[in-house]
Structure 1
């Protein structure tokens, strides 16, 4: 598999509504570059303007979007490549990645960036089915990694510390899901920088049991307690290029500050399978925390 630099184009606008967002190409973008658009809608005016700008500057445009959309017509008419979604995504606060998975994997395989032939996609589908069985609602908490993680994250401030590019993507996804679906805050940082970036969060005074010597604390008005949730470090690791790991330093720091630590086991298998399983785990975990908030 090859490699190439990837730049995410962040939108601007006066509101978060799709019709108010606009995107702009960087000044250096030209005929040797590829513009990849992925949208569950296809009617956004800003994306249509972006596709037209890319055509004028000679970029190749590929769009993963619903069939028979306004953006798809523009991309097709400008010698671009519209890739239809397998199934329409659900209308929700955060767009699910699963309808985009097969079209994007096919594109990346054809461009040589990753190896994702038909056999690899079938293997990934089997892996996701197995993950759904382990993380589904009928599986008890003790044997369910998503329920177990949700229980540990409940009433805490998750600090997601990552190693490896795949784990970075998974952590960012989990932060968005927790905010959008469960209304919960979480922070993420890559190791080893996380050891210093979040150090002040670990240094908050611990809530310890002081026995009979502090009865005033026992009878304090907890309604007025503004201390907030206690931090919990979540160590999320995938393979790194050099094989080095800061995991021992993470354990030592968490122990020194009496901060609970959750280590997510690194799944076995190919990188694509590992990424798919971890993304599925985040979906289930956020769903269970959302249900907990409604009870």
Structure 2
């Protein structure tokens, strides 16, 4: 499938080909966050304030669920958090525990059953679902944040995630005050402005990276806790929107796998030896790798990256950045291109938001350049 690079500089053609309006929908992410902030009182989260839950269960109907990964990552320091995919709550779950449900569709029978069980067993519960949906009704007296019904299937992340983060704050599991959410909204707006369809390929980093990903093997590496989640989010978007088999790793633990991917994505034909007179029509050429690193900008002990213990900085941030530097060096040694996601300084959650949004725009432009509609649902996705 050939890539139409000229299309990326034609705003009208881009919007015509974007049949589901994904690029426009992605630009509303900041507005989704602000809507959740403005409707916080209607959510009724005061009912969740009390003792810290013994454990936290999170269930959604949005595959792949970056929402679940963010919530579990933020929760793990205060309470064990589990992504729950079963149709029944675990036997041990009861009034000492909490359940968070994000239902984009609102009709998923598994989430309906979990909400009914959570209400019956007395778990502290918060639900995000469309108004008058089956999941919302099953929540009983638990706080319910009502989703808009016109959300794009690929652009509803912050409409679901923001209320769940507000619930984390109310439960005392992780502090997510309104000021932090406003910072997230500003980061999303800034990314949408930089990556807007009307800017040309040379000034729009998402368009430029999409053109590079068109004929390479994308490797997305996250250097740090939420950076690893952002790397996975970017790879998910590239796979869902453009059908590109991107690989995501978290550093430093994923260093060996990332190095193997880079070494295995070189341009050399397989099994050719030194036979100059071989028939080159039989050569198998592998795609060259393209490394993108999230979270290795700045310094590990920058106070703007949020309060962390010395051990966390040393074991997580420093080690991850060293691994990222080694990957950049390996890519250069192999003659492969590499770069880092340029996100604004600030709280880790805001930086995550900017990086993940950049990946969404990149995936959208890559799909459009390949002649695909990036917002079209694929088999297994939620119907809208």
Tell me, yes or no, whether TM beats 0.5: yes
Structure 1 residues 58 and 251, CA gap change in structure 2 (3 angstroms): same
Structure 1 residues 115 and 89, CA gap change in structure 2 (3 angstroms): farther
C-alpha deviation, 1:101, in angstroms: 4.1
**Equivalent-residue separation in structure 2 for 1:61 and 1:137 (angstroms):** 40
Check the 8 A contact 1:88/1:99 in 2, yes or no: no
Tell me the C-alpha RMSD between the 2 structures.
2.9
Partner of 2:113: 49
C-alpha deviation, 1:226, in angstroms: 4.2
**Which one of 100, 103, 109 corresponds to residue 160 of structure 2?**
100
1:71 lines up with 2:135 in the alignment: yes
**Which one of 227, 244, 249 corresponds to residue 285 of structure 2?**
227
C-alpha deviation, 1:40, in angstroms: 1.0
Check the 8 A contact 1:160/1:171 in 2, yes or no: yes
Partner of 2:82: 7
Aligned residues: 274
Unaligned segments of structure 2, at least 5 residues: 1-73, 297-304, 373-384
**Matching of residues 232-251 of structure 1 within 5 Å:** 232-237=290-295, 241-242=312-313, 243-244=317-318, 245-246=321-322, 247-251=324-328
Higher relative contact order (CA 8 A, sep 6+): 2
Partner of 2:126: 62
1:148 lines up with 2:148 in the alignment: no
Check the 8 A contact 2:128/2:145 in 1, yes or no: yes
Q: Could you tell me the TM-score, scaled by structure 2's length?
A: 0.63
Structure 1 residues 28 and 176, CA gap change in structure 2 (3 angstroms): same
Check the 8 A contact 2:267/2:286 in 1, yes or no: no
2:363 match: secondary structure: helix
**Matching of residues 30-179 of structure 1 within 5 Å:** 30-76=94-140, 79-85=141-147, 87-92=148-153, 94=154, 96-179=156-239
1:276 lines up with 2:353 in the alignment: yes
Unaligned segments of structure 1, at least 5 residues: 12-22
**Equivalent-residue separation in structure 1 for 2:245 and 2:265 (angstroms):** 20
1:26 lines up with 2:90 in the alignment: yes
2:208 match: secondary structure: helix
**Equivalent-residue separation in structure 2 for 1:232 and 1:51 (angstroms):** 43
1:294 match: secondary structure: coil
